[in-house]
């Protein structure tokens, strides 16, 4: 079977898995008064459809920001408007201003699930296929492995099709931007990334690598060309930003209202029990009680910047596409582990770049996907998605580990390879044991959050090790780059012959 046909089968299987997960419950199902993320997305459709843009981000008599106020950038608002417009054509009750709050029905659930699938069919899945097929350095088996790593990612499927969000849009645009840069289309890549950032502000996790790679590439050029390219990139970014924000640039107050909603520092250091450094430290050091919130923001900002420096400076001085991909991994992990106001779902921003380098790090990528999905277990259990998460994760492990047998781990050989596999097995067994214990063992009365905390700390330890691992490979190890060079030489040789 040709590679195109095989990837087509993988794509169809990915769509089937997505729709199977969508049959499950969702965030906030039958839990008034606030419900959950499902209601948040429905409410944004209601607000954007019935109110003028100038009121979307402001607290008014018709828009109570305390009830799921819009807190994503303009492109999310425009997307909500389009979905709301279609919803009104089908059933106006779904998006009736104020009276539709908490609306739930089978037909509406079906519509909402279809909007997520439509977004994936338009943005994420085409971006994945374009990225996979553009990797001419890779052989057919590696391309299949890459396609499965991205399309079958359990965490992304569970959050978008179970919990209910549209992460595929921003992540798809970021992946598209990565592909453009890989192909040398820096202008298109800049536009795609700015669009991703204007869909979800969490794309700031990837901003530093894009900035350093593009700037570093400019420094490799002669002075006149360097100046011209910097001017062109700057102009493209400004035009894209202004176009995206145009309805909110009529006055300063409207623009500031959007910014205040995008960066709500008053919401705290982290959301729930998230698997990052600050939440893990809170077990022994109550930072929220010891340090004022303004100082906590500065602490997180300084910690994040310091941890970003090694990867960013390396990429700036050596702007290769291989370093760029690893820098995306390292940057997203640093932001997740050290930045302010982190959600457990933000680990998906690291999952996609790691999946993008899966052919060179097959075992590490599968390992990360398993642990990143496990880190969201308390949220998934709360949404009634335990069975779906366990089933999807196990299926992912079986498929990916079987596929990995097609070629060996490029980073581990002999005794080292055996040791890594043993550690991987023990890690997964530990995650499985905590999953079972959280369901069959009753937490002590004085420690009601025992298992969510243990899951967060266990996952955080893994993420720190993954950060060290990928940072090491970016800065010091040549195995990854040699592998790419070998693949490139093989392709060139085949073309020549």
Please give the pLDDT value at position 479. 52
Q: Would 337 be classed as within a structural domain?
A: yes
Taking the C-alpha atoms of residue 377 and residue 452, their distance in angstroms, rounded to an integer, is 8
Token output for 373: 């999905």
Q: Residue 310 in contact with residue 472, Cβ under 8 Å? A: no
Q: Which letter, b or e, does each residue of 83-107 get, where b requires 16 or more Cβ atoms within 10 Å of its Cβ?
A: bbebbbeeeeebbeeeebbebbeee
Rg (CA), the chain: 23
% residues pLDDT > 70 (the chain): 93
Please tell me the chain's helix, strand, coil percentages from 3-state DSSP, rounded to the nearest 5: 75, 0, 25
Q: Which letter, b or e, does each residue of 344-356 get, where b requires 16 or more Cβ atoms within 10 Å of its Cβ?
A: bbbbbbbbbbbbb
pLDDT value at 394 more than 90: yes
Question: How many Cβ atoms are within 10 Å of 146's Cβ, its own excluded?
Answer: 25
Please give the pLDDT value at position 491. 45
Give the pLDDT band of residue 162 (cuts 50, 70, 90). Answer: very high
Q: Residue 77 in contact with residue 48, Cβ under 8 Å? A: yes
**Domain span holding position 224:** 123-496
Average pLDDT of the chain to the nearest whole number: 91
**HEC states along 303-322?**
HHHHHHHHHHHHHHHCCCHH
Q: Would 205 be classed as within a structural domain?
A: yes
Q: Which long-range contacts (CB under 8 A, 24 or more apart) does 185-189 make?
A: 186/214, 186/217, 186/229, 186/233, 187/232, 187/233, 187/236, 189/214
Q: Would 473 be classed as within a structural domain?
A: yes
pLDDT value at 410 more than 70: no
Token output for 173: 């645009």
Query: What domain count does the chain have?
Result: 1
Q: Would 388 be classed as within a structural domain?
A: yes
What mean pLDDT is predicted for residues 325-345? 95
Taking the C-alpha atoms of residue 185 and residue 178, their distance in angstroms, rounded to an integer, is 10
Q: Would 310 be classed as within a structural domain?
A: yes
**Model's pTM, two decimal places?**
0.92
Question: How many Cβ atoms are within 10 Å of 60's Cβ, its own excluded?
Answer: 11
* Model confidence pLDDT, tens digit, residues 76-103: 999 999 999 999 999 999 999 999 999 9
Please give the pLDDT value at position 287. 81
Of 19 and 2, the structure prediction assigns the larger pLDDT to: 19
Element (H, E) at 302: helix 293-317
Q: Would 38 be classed as within a structural domain?
A: no
Q: Residue 374 in contact with residue 435, Cβ under 8 Å? A: yes
Q: Would 317 be classed as within a structural domain?
A: yes
Please give the pLDDT value at position 480. 56
Q: Taking the mean position of all CA atoms in its chain, how far away is CA 463?
A: 15
Give the pLDDT band of residue 346 (cuts 50, 70, 90). Answer: very high
Please give the pLDDT value at position 481. 54
Taking the C-alpha atoms of residue 102 and residue 321, their distance in angstroms, rounded to an integer, is 46
Token output for 187: 């202008």
* Model confidence pLDDT, tens digit, residues 412-430: 455 567 888 899 999 999 9
Token output for 363: 């075992």
Q: Using DSSP, how many helices (H) and how many strands (E) does the chain show?
A: 23, 0
Q: Would 407 be classed as within a structural domain?
A: yes
Taking the C-alpha atoms of residue 162 and residue 356, their distance in angstroms, rounded to an integer, is 23
What mean pLDDT is predicted for residues 294-320? 94
Q: Residue 348 in contact with residue 368, Cβ under 8 Å? A: no
Question: How many Cβ atoms are within 10 Å of 14's Cβ, its own excluded?
Answer: 21
Please give the pLDDT value at position 415. 53
pLDDT value at 459 more than 80: yes
Please give the pLDDT value at position 489. 45
Residues pairing with 270 in the sheet: 342
Element (H, E) at 413: none
Give the pLDDT band of residue 402 (cuts 50, 70, 90). Answer: confident
* CA proximity to 355, closest of 329, 324, 389, 322: 329
* Model confidence pLDDT, tens digit, residues 226-264: 999 999 999 999 999 999 999 999 889 999 999 999 987
């Amino acid at each position: 079977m040709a590679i195109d046909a095989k990837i087509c089968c993988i794509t169809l299987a990915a769509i089937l898995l997505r729709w199977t997960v969508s049959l499950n419950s969702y965030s906030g199902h039958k839990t008034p008064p606030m419900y959950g993320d499902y209601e948040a997305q429905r409410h944004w459709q209601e607000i954007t459809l019935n109110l003028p843009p100038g009121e979307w981000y402001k607290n008014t008599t018709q828009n109570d920001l305390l009830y799921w106020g819009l807190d994503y950038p303009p492109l999310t608002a425009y997307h909500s408007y389009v979905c709301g417009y279609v919803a009104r054509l089908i059933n106006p009750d779904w998006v009736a201003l104020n009276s539709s709050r908490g609306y739930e029905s089978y037909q509406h659930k079906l519509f909402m699930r279809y909007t997520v699938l439509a977004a994936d069919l338009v943005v994420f899945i085409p971006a994945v296929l374009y990225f996979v097929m553009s990797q001419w350095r890779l052989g057919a088996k590696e391309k299949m492995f890459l396609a499965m790593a991205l399309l079958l990612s359990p965490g992304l499927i569970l959050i978008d099709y179970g919990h209910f969000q549209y992460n595929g849009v921003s992540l798809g645009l970021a992946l598209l931007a990565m592909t453009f840069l890989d192909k040398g289309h820096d202008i298109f890549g800049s536009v795609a990334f700015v669009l991703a950032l204007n869909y979800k502000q969490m794309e700031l996790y990837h901003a530093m690598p894009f900035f350093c790679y593009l700037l570093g590439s400019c420094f490799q050029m002669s002075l006149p060309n360097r100046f011209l390219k910097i001017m062109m990139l700057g102009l493209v970014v400004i035009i894209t930003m202004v176009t995206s924000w145009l309805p909110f640039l009529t006055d300063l107050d409207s623009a500031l209202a959007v910014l205040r909603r995008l960066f709500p520092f008053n919401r705290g250091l982290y959301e729930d029990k998230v698997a990052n450094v600050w939440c893990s430290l809170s077990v022994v050091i109550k930072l929220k009680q010891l340090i004022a919130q303004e100082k906590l923001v500065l602490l997180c900002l300084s910690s994040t910047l310091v941890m970003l420096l090694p990867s960013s400076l390396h990429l700036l001085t050596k702007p290769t596409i291989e370093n760029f991909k690893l820098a995306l991994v390292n940057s997203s992990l640093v932001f997740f582990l050290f930045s302010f106001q982190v959600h457990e779902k933000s680990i998906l921003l690291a999952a996609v770049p790691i999946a993008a380098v899966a052919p060179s790090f097959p075992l590490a990528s599968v390992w990360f996907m398993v642990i990143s999905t496990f880190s969201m277990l308390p949220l998934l259990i709360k949404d009634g998605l335990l069975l779906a998460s366990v089933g999807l994760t196990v299926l992912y492990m079986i498929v990916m580990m079987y596929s990995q047998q097609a070629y060996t781990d490029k980073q581990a050989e002999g005794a080292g390879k055996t040791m890594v596999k043993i550690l991987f097995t023990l890690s997964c067994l530990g995650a499985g044991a905590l999953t079972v214990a959280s369901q069959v063992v009753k937490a002590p009365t004085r420690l009601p959050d025992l298992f969510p905390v243990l899951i967060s700390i266990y996952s955080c330890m893994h993420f720190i090790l993954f950060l060290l691992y990928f940072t090491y490979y970016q800065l010091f190890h040549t195995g990854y780059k040699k592998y790419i060079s070998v693949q490139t030489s093989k392709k060139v040789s085949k073309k020549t012959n």
